[in-house]
Amino acid sequence: MKKQLINYETLLKVTKVISHSRNPEEVVLITVESIKTALDVKGCSVFLINRKTDELEVAASYGLSDEYINKGPVSALRSIALSLEEGPVAIYDVSDDPRIQYPDAAKNEGIASIMSVPIVVAGRSIGALRIYTSEHWEFTLEDVNFVQAMAQIAGMAIEMARQYKGLKDSIEILKTMRDPKVFPRVKLAKNINT
């Protein structure tokens, strides 16, 4: 029962940050830190898909070394790719699974198991939330549901922050356009025919 209480506390903490923050970086940092702590796992990362390169780029990570995070480009087409299309994927033994793109790096980092869930916004996958354990872990349905809920919350928050930033940028452009130093007003002649 304590684990459920921790998960509810984590949900409350993350949703509170999201409701007060317009900064996507802050939202994903709080998300990964909260999940790592709540599940007492080795680490947690949020990846976002770069549509131009088909790579997963780390948006935030907690509990993992810089060496592991910077191990090389993570392909959205090769690295646990099914989790982006079909839903959660749990890998019990990273050293013996073809879906792992960098098994040696995972072994050197001390990672035994990984769970990856998609971050979906408006029916479109924008990235993945991954959990890393130092011991082999049979992820329970409760674990999967909790991580999926956190991924959905993070996805909504990222999208809201992006829209807020876009709106703020648009307002700044409109303000600039109204500035007479930038765009002087054209005076219309009183009698156009003369």
What is d(CA 99, CA 121) in angstroms, rounded to the nearest whole number? 24
| Topology of the domain comprising 2-178 | Beta-Lactamase (3.30.450)
The answer to whether 38 and 10 are in contact (CB under 8 A) is yes
pLDDT in 10s for each residue of the chain, 194 residues: 355 556 777 778 777 777 777 677 887 888 898 889 888 899 999 999 998 998 899 999 999 999 999 999 998 887 887 888 888 999 999 988 999 999 999 999 999 999 999 999 888 899 999 999 999 999 989 889 989 988 988 888 778 776 766 666 666 666 666 655 555 555 544 554 54
The answer to whether 35 and 64 are in contact (CB under 8 A) is no
Q: Residue ranges of the domains in the chain?
A: 2-178
Give the CA count within 13 Å in the CB-facing half-sphere of 66. 0
pTM for this model (two decimals): 0.78
The answer to whether 111 and 132 are in contact (CB under 8 A) is yes
Q: How many residues are there in the chain?
A: 194
H helical segments located in 71-187: 82-85, 103-109, 141-178
